[in-house]
Amino acid sequence: RQMCIRDSFKLIHYPVINRYRLYNLKTDPLEMDDLAGAADYQGTVDVLRKELRALESAMADPLLAGRAP
């Protein structure tokens, strides 16, 4: 699993099952309310996914070896 945090949002990606979870750490510090599927947060998910992809490339993440971009 990979994750990144920006401002108060945390995006977690589970590459084996290609699932994303998004949490607002300011209002939900226990990460109980997954916002990834909520329409109001799709822009946030998109921004954090781009950041996560950049981190994955910079770190040459072995979990992603052979995965299509």
Token pair in block for residue 27:
């209002």
Task: Write down how long the chain is.
Answer: 69
Please state, as a whole number, how many other Cβ atoms lie within 10 Å of the Cβ of residue 8: 12
Q: How many CA atoms lie within 13 A of 45 on its CB side?
A: 16
pLDDT for res 9? 97
pLDDT in the model for residue 69: 45
Structure confidence by residue, pLDDT tens digits, 6-42: 999 999 999 889 899 999 999 999 999 999 999 999 9
